[in-house]
Amino acid sequence: MFFLHKKKQHLNTRLYQIHLNLANLWGKNWQYIQNTLDSKLHLIIQKKYQNFNLKIQKLAQEQTIKPEKDVTFYPRVVNNTDITFTNKEITLLEKET
């Protein structure tokens, strides 16, 4: 886990150095370039989130539309003896008390 934090810190430091170099290289134009890049990235990210939200909504809708099938469970108590139990006794055995 420590390795990932170290790697992230290294990438953040490198990104910051590149940012400073570009700001020095392009001077006053850097602010315009950065704003343009930020706005384009914002549009791309916004489109990605819209697609994710549509997928989630579609999956949620599919799950609510599907009718639940009748589920048949096996009986909890199977009498393999010759003894006949009353309904009250079977109910008590099924509760495992």
73-95: per-residue pLDDT in tens? 777 788 888 989 898 888 888 88
Residue 17: its pLDDT value, please?
A: 95
Provide the residue ranges of all domains of the chain, joining segments of one domain with +. Answer: 2-65
DSSP assigned state of 80: -
DSSP assigned state of 77: -
Q: What is the mean pLDDT of residues 14-35?
A: 91
Residue 73: its pLDDT value, please?
A: 73
CA–CA separation, 10 and 3 (whole Å): 10
Sequence-ordered list of residues with C-beta below 8 angstroms from that of 94, at least 6 positions apart, any chain: 76, 77
Residue 42: its pLDDT value, please?
A: 96
pLDDT band (50, 70, 90) for residue 67: low
CA–CA separation, 78 and 94 (whole Å): 10
Question: Is pLDDT at 8 greater than 90 in this prediction?
Answer: yes
Residue with tokens 């910051």: 16
